[in-house]
Chain A
Amino acid sequence: EVQLLESGGGLVQPGGSLRLSCAASGFTFSTYAMTWVRQAPGKGLEWVSAISGSGGNTYYADSVKGRFTISRDNSKNTLYLQMNSLRAEDTAVYYCAKVPGRGTKGGWFDPWGQGTLVTVSS
């Protein structure tokens, strides 16, 4: 069974940093692209970032470009999201998801982890 487990969320001050992790199991991790999607409280879903299976290709939403960095460690079956210069508007539940389709481009998201809450506030 494919499982994704996020961790690393919490309360951080504006301008601060946080690193999220997503531990994967039940599939050959290095074979699949992965993605991060976030959901602000009471709001809709927003795509954040994606990374190819090898880690060689990364993509970001304009809202986080230059502040967030996606990476992966295929030896540890773990996906990361390094978040710097955090703003109040980054407050959200962050989900990781597997991209089982045709690589990072044109895929779909399945399954999703349970999410980890990031709160940016002073």
Chain B
Amino acid sequence: GAGVSQSPSNKVTEKGKDVELRCDPISGHTALYWYRQRLGQGLEFLIYFQGNSAPDKSGLPSDRFSAERTGESVSTLTIQRTQQEDSAVYLCASSPNWGVDTIYFGEGSWLTVV
């Protein structure tokens, strides 16, 4: 597709379950970001992948959160033992090259933990 694709678009899960969120960046984009956005709030940086360099994990809120990226393609954000405070929209974004400032967002995965 032409844009950043995220799945699922909506996920309802029970507290304590693990969830996986998927991001397909724009083809050829080497940088990939995950953000969390709670309802009506700003963008909370989670993790940043750039090419083959070590990812910047400085925004991950706890060890329940992890993310992987295979090369310059798909990324998966995993949340283990979900808590109600994890309920939010998880946004993925990508950019063409290292150091290119403009980033392109997907439409997000809305996670509800009940």
A and B bound? no
Chain B residues with a Cβ under 8 A of chain A:
none
Residues of A within 8 A of B (CB): none
